[in-house]
Amino acid sequence: MTTDELIGKTIGGYEILDVIGRGGMATVYRAQQVSMKRVVAVKVLPKQYIHDDTYLQRFHQEVKIVSQLEHRNIVPVYDYGESEGQPYIVMRYMPAGSVDDRINRGPLDIETIISILEQIAPALDYAHSKNVLHRDLKPSNVLMDDDGGAYLTDFGIARILGEQSVGITTQGVVGTPSYMSPEQAQGLPLDNRSDLYALGVMLFEMATGRRPFESDTPYSIAVMQVTTPPPQPRAYNPNLSFAVEEVILKTLKKKREERYPHAVALAESLKRAVDKPITSIHDTQPVAVRPQPHPIPIEQPAQSPPPMVAIPPIAYAPLGQSAAPPAAIYRRRKPRRPNVWMNAAVGGLIGCGVLVVLAITALLIIGMITGGSEAAPTPTATTPPWLSGVSRDGEVMPTLDPTSRAARDARLPAATPTPLPSRTPDHTATIAPVGVRSAMLLSPEVRAIGGSLVYFAERDSSTKLFHLDLNTGQETQLTFGAGMDVFPAVSPDGRRIAFQSDRDGDFDIYVMDLSGDNLRQITRNAVDDRLPAWSPDGEWISFSSDIRGDGTFDLYRARADGSDLQAVFGDAARSSGARWSPDGQTLVFTSGARDDAGTWEIARFHLPGAVFSRLTENAVKDWSPSFSPDGRYILFLTNEGARGDSAIARMAADGSGRKILYDGTGYEWGASYSPDGQLIAFTAPDGGREEIFVMDADGGNLRQITSGGGQFPAWVSAS
């Protein structure tokens, strides 16, 4: 039971009993209708959103949609009103929880899957017959009653085709990346088959206990939806028949025309696949017409949002000179899990760098044609003391073969980093300089936090870096021009920002001043470098590099001016997202198989002595660690017991004392401590859009910071 100020109070004739769940834009309570003594669910818009037109319109939109959808397998709405300015919706209470709750206990048996699908398939087709797209179909949005009944719910970001929804749908892509269709991930017009793809992801998850695509960030998952073939379900559940597997994979076709035409066709095909007699699945609303087996018209918005992901072939521009091999890299031996389907998904987990590269196809192709022949200087990487001729477990660690592609395309920085043009403020502007926006309407509670944050966000069809002053609410755009700039890291003195950008055709590391000036490129190569982090003394920037071009990242570091490149750690697996300990002696990072997120654990590499160890080693997914400022704790993400895709957790620096600090209903990520260790900033979904939140270090007192989109917040220390 969660403590809440509304518990025990009565709003609109409903006595609030306790909290059922909290979503991106509302809180749902179990309540008792005083007049009839029946238990209901009451969905309430929190007070901090009642003056936000976007949230109010979304709330009213949900009421408008569900009031038109009177189907026995869509959660019915009993009442709607306002209490002290807070709008609320009263719905039927579902005591058995959601399908997601059941999946958390393991894969569902095929009879249960068919029962659920037979109920929600006609309900989904019925909604489509009313020209309503759900756009956020997932197991947590299918509720269950005590008799095995399944019901669709949460139409908060649904879309009525043909209606202009200005202010309701935000710029960019909305939805949950793990369940997005390829066309939804790209921001393309949608039709009913987009919801069918999400239903296919849900079917895969019910049958195997896991989603088809998993990665460390929502962006990485979105690009996999577009580019990566789904795994074979039987690789995770050998008890499935080939016929059932074929049905599941058909629902996950990248091209919408290759999927089932409607949900009932999917349900009937699944029944045939398990050799069940085919019985007609009837719409249970007497006045409804069963949907015809053809797609509803593709949504044609007045202005289609720009594609989030493009799908060109990826080619690496070869460097003009061969280079000396990088320094020796430690390789620990680890058994690889035999998944034959994984060979088809090698490129899917390259992460946000791949997504960014794909998003600017035209620029990449032009750059390869016009500049691919220009050789970048490639100095030799320096071998750090802890890697020089040291053996581990009695085994001498070899250097990379100098004739290999890894050595030939060695990802080394230019000898002298080339300064790039800085942003040029518009001195003729009469309102504000270029990139400076109107102040956000931050609540007094948020302004009291003080300080500032740097993050990336999509604005005006591009993804750039922004700086937000929490005292004034002033947001300033820091980067401009071609390419996508993401994953900022602020130097310990608060004066510089390191980040990754694909502006030269692949992901490289850049550094600039906090103002956005003095931009310079730190790495220059033909592979992806990602997730930079500053050492505590501000002398080094660590990052992960896909030196082999196959998604197995190794750890490197370089000086802030790009000099003195050093190999730090690699094991021919995935070593990604390293963060420094406050004393600068240790790196913690995500370690595991490149093609199976379920193997990801938190690893530690102690630089003096080159000692590698794992802090977590279990059957759950742990990733994205970072130290608290005092070095006592490690903040990380986990899916252990998470209600949604992830939860924010904390453990002691030695790996003991795991504790979940915050577990929302969606994908929380990008968590980091404030410089004083009192607060944690992170990214979480809000009505289908990624926003920045701040909470106390113990996980309490949650506050939303941005309302126009924001991801991967980095705190700025007072210089």
* Structural domains of the chain, ranges and CATH numbers in brackets: 10-92 (3.30.200.20), 99-273 (1.10.510.10)
Which pLDDT score is estimated for 173? 60
The pLDDT score that the predictor gives to residue 157 is 72
How many Cα atoms sit within 13 Å of 312 on the Cβ side?
16
At 366 the pLDDT is 38
At residue 596, the pLDDT reads 80
Measured between its terminal Cα atoms, the distance across the chain in Å is: 43
Of the listed 125, 136, 283, 571, which one is catalytic? 136
Residue with tokens 């490690």: 634
What residues contact residue 625 under an 8 Å CB cut-off, 6+ apart?
577, 579, 588, 589, 590, 602, 615, 634, 635, 636
- Catalytic annotation on 654? no
pLDDT for the residue numbered 619 = 84
Q: Which long-range contacts (CB under 8 A, 24 or more apart) does 529-532 make?
A: 529/353, 529/411, 529/500, 529/556, 530/351, 530/352, 530/353, 530/487, 530/500, 530/576, 531/487, 531/500, 531/576, 531/577, 531/578, 532/487, 532/489, 532/498, 532/499, 532/500
CB-count exposure of residue 238 (10 Å: 0-12, 13-18, 19+): exposed
**Which two structure tokens, joined as six digits, stand for 565?**
């490149």
The pair of three-digit structure tokens given for residue 454, joined into one six-digit string = 């740097």
pLDDT in tens, 260-296: 999 999 999 999 998 654 444 444 443 333 333 344 4
Burial environment of residue 616 by CB neighbours within 10 A (0 to 12, 13 to 18, 19 or more): buried
Cα(266)–Cα(269) distance, integer angstroms: 5
**pLDDT score of 313:** 29
Where the chain has pLDDT below 50, the residues are: 1-2, 164-172, 277-296, 300-432
pLDDT of residue 160: 66
Q: In this predicted structure, what is the pLDDT of residue 297?
A: 52
580, β-bridge pairs: 587
What token pair was written down for 146?
A: 């005590």
